[in-house]
Structure formats: C-alpha cells, structure tokens
Amino acid sequence: MMPQLIPDSEQVMSILKKTGAFREGHFVYPSGQHTPHYFQMPLAFRYYDTARVLAVALSRKLRLEKVVSSALPKLSIISPSPGGIPVAFAVREALTADQIYWAEREEGKRMFRQYVNAGEVSPAVIVDDISRTGDAIKDTVNLVREMGTKVIGCGTIVRFKGSPDHIEIPGEDDPVPVLSLVEFDAKWYDDGDSCADCKKGVPEEHVRF
C-alpha cells in the first residue's frame, strides 16, 4: 500500500472526533448563536502524536507551494493567537523554518509583543488551528505588513466554508490561498427561536467562545 502523505479530510475529522476536538451536540455561544457542533482544537494538540500528524500534514500542503518551499529556511511561521502556537511550532519543525511569532490580544487589539522588531522578520506563513471567519488571519496579514514583512502563505487545520479560501494582500497582485486539511460546512442558528435542537428540547451546552 502506498503511504498516504497527506491524510484526507475524513481521516483528519476522525482524529478530531477521537481526541474530543470535534464535538456534536447543542451548543450556545456567548453571542446567542446556536450550533450543533463545536471545535475545541487544543484537545487534538494535547496529544503529541496527533498534534504531529496534523501539523506535518499541514506543512506538506504548505511545502507544495513553490513560493513557500523556495523561501526555506528563511521563513517565519506566525500564529494569529496563542491558540495557534502548537500548530506554529510543529509546522516550523516539519518545514525547518527559522522563526516563530504569535500575536495576542491586548485590550481587544491583536498585536505582537513589544520589541518584536520590524526588519528582522523573515517572509511569513500564517498558521492557525481553525479559521471560522477569516478575521484572525486578515488581522495578522495587516500586522505582518506593518512590520515590513511579506505574507507568502496561510494554512489552518480546519477552515469553515464561509471563511475566505484566499486572502488579498494589499499591494500584491495575487491573493494567497488559505490551505486547510478540512473544509467544514458549519451550521449556525442566529438564536434559539430558529434552532432545530431547541425545538426538539435537546439540553444546551454553553461554550465560552
């Protein structure tokens, strides 16, 4: 049997289910939206073996992008938030890129740590565990550009189909594809009144974000 270099979407979903990172039920977000499924990605990254399988798969997709592979090892792997740090470290290891950065929110604004200086940052690949809306990646593209660094790739383990599969980079002709291992068709209800599980009386679970 040929070894499968990049697990398909079904295999990745099975890892996410097995680790508890993908959950089915009746969930209510702080925004009041209801959903029959929930991703808590750090649960897949608490096991070194599954973390490695997922990150190596994503790194292989990234490596297939000529612009990414030809920049190595002078590449920075950048996470939009602390949630993506395990992905960033594991992708860095698989690609042998030379830098890792992550942004954090301070008073609601996404930013890099103080003294992360412009001019020292290698061309960037933005990676995350999940992209629900694409906003985190877009914010990070802008932050990276403010540091004078070019974004040459994006990748996420799971991408909701409603979030962009390409990111426009201001000043660049070609948008950068957002590579992912799973494209998930997320289902939402704006409130309890429109929610199928509420109608069936399924008990709610409240999630923090």
Which residue ranges make up the site for Zn ion (CB under 5 A)? 34, 192, 195, 197-198
Extract the tokens encoding 137.
Answer: 């990646």
Q: Which helix (H) or strand (E) holds 11?
A: helix 9-19
Measured at CB, which residue is nearest to Zn ion?
Answer: 195
Cβ nearer to Zn ion, comparing 32 with 82: 32
Cβ nearer to Zn ion, comparing 12 with 195: 195
Collapsed DSSP state (helix, strand, coil) of residue 186: coil
Residue from 181, 179, 167 nearest 65 by CA: 179
Cβ nearer to Zn ion, comparing 36 with 177: 36
Residue from 63, 78, 71, 62 nearest 147 by CA: 78
Task: Report, in Å, the least distance between residue 27 CB and Zn ion.
Answer: 8
Task: Report, in Å, the least distance between residue 201 CB and Zn ion.
Answer: 10
Task: Report, in Å, the least distance between residue 193 CB and Zn ion.
Answer: 9
Cβ nearer to Zn ion, comparing 38 with 47: 38
Cβ nearer to Zn ion, comparing 36 with 164: 36
Task: Report, in Å, the least distance between residue 206 CB and Zn ion.
Answer: 11
Cis preceding linkage at 82, omega within 30: no
Task: Report, in Å, the least distance between residue 31 CB and Zn ion.
Answer: 13
Q: CA-CA distance, 14 to 181, in Å (whole number)?
A: 12
- Work out whether strand 151-160 and strand 176-184 pair parallel, antiparallel, or are unpaired: parallel
The answer to whether the beta carbons of residues 159 and 131 sit under 8 Å apart is yes
Name 74's Cβ contacts closer than 8 Å, sequence gap at least 6: 98, 122, 123
Collapsed DSSP state (helix, strand, coil) of residue 3: coil
Dihedral over Cα of 209, 153, 121, 89: its sign: positive
Cβ nearer to Zn ion, comparing 116 with 198: 198
Task: Report, in Å, the least distance between residue 199 CB and Zn ion.
Answer: 8
